[in-house]
A and B are shown apart, each in its own frame.
Chain A
Amino acid sequence: MTAPTTSAAKAARTYHLAEGEDHDHAGGNGATLLGFWIYLMSDALIFAALFATFGVLNSSYAGGPVPREIFELPLVALNTALLLISSITFGFAMLEMEAGRISGTRSWLLVTALFGAGFLGIEIYEFSSLIAEGATPQRSAFLSAFFTLVGTHGLHVFFGLIWIATMLAQIGQRGLGLDNKRRLMCLSMFWHFLDIIWIGVFTFVYLFGVLR
């Protein structure tokens, strides 16, 4: 049982290296990128469960505040703009990476991180003012579902920021080697994925909430 598994793994690894020589510029990262894509898809399922929960509970106000009273659309629009801009600045960082320009990559990554931090700062401000108004997660099922869904997205952005900071340091120390390129490509997918989730959040949570 063990022997065939080992030889299969060995064969896969051999192919993996061969692919690296002529397939991608970054080299040998097809399997990693596919694996990371599968992770993103499973993360999408987590968000699907949270969206479904919110969809079921989004009118269970328990006599508490309703979306129209507590959501500030201008603030949400600003947040959306920040995250969208951070998506294209990350794209520019990837273009600089492919051109092999270390300082350009780091600059655009830094810009991305600043926009991401701005997004997170506004979200924390929004959460704290909601809680100060008494719209806490304990108030109603609607608010529980709201804080869980939006908070989980915010947590992802937070970890994305940590990852960007890590990559800034990594690139600073070791340049744009194959490893760092592969990591940046995964981080790029992660960051764009978070923006896609945010499309769902601002549409189904905020806009539909105010519309209702």
Chain B
Amino acid sequence: MSTTQLAGPHAPELHGHGDTHGHGTRRGYVIGFLLSVVLTAIPFWLVMTETLFSTPATAVAIFACALLQIVVHVVYFLHLNTRSEGGWTLIAFIFTVVIVGITIGGSIWVMYHLNTNMMPMMPSMGSR
């Protein structure tokens, strides 16, 4: 079973087998690094100078930068693409992203509503 699944994408790779297959190139690493530097510098600059935006706008901007930088790292450093290991790394990655989203987003959502629907407490108790 696994033989069939893995053998499918195996054949084309024999032909398109260049220097770069499944690995990085110097150019790829440098592009990834430069993009990462920009996407790291922007959020730090926004938060440390506190000048450009309102707080919600800054929050949205640094959140977007983080998501973009994660994509940059996955593509340029981890070399995730649709072809590596017959697409199974991509499937596993998408599955993980979904679970991570449910875990983090769901927890915060549920606990936020739990907190706001609780009976009023003393501030010192509520903050525990």
Contacts and interface: CB of A to CB of B under 8 A. Distances in A.
A44 B73 CA distance: 15
B73 A195 contact: yes
Interface string A71-89: 0011011001100100110
Interface in A41-72: 41, 44-45, 48-49, 51-53, 55-56, 59-63
A37 B13 CA distance: 20
A202 B42 CA distance: 13
A101 interface: no
Contacts of B111: 56
A59 B112 CA distance: 11
A91 B44 contact: no
Interface residues of B, number: 56
Nearest to A210: B47
B96 A73 contact: no
A171 interface: no
A33 interface: yes
Main secondary structure of the interface of A (DSSP, over half): helix
B127 A62 contact: yes
Interface of B: 2-3, 6-7, 10, 13-14, 19, 21-26, 29-30, 32-33, 36-37, 40, 43-44, 47-48, 55, 58-59, 62-63, 65-66, 69-70, 73-74, 77-78, 85, 88-89, 92-93, 95-96, 99-100, 103-104, 106-108, 111, 124, 127-128
Given A59-B127, A91-B33, 11 more contacts: A22-B14, A44-B96, A45-B96, A45-B100, A60-B127, A63-B124, A88-B29, A91-B77, A196-B74, A200-B70, A208-B59
Q: Considering the complex of A and B, which 10 residue pairs feature the smallest CB-CB distances, nearest first? A: A91-B29, A52-B107, A203-B66, A192-B77, A48-B100, A41-B96, A88-B33, A56-B111, A48-B103, A55-B108
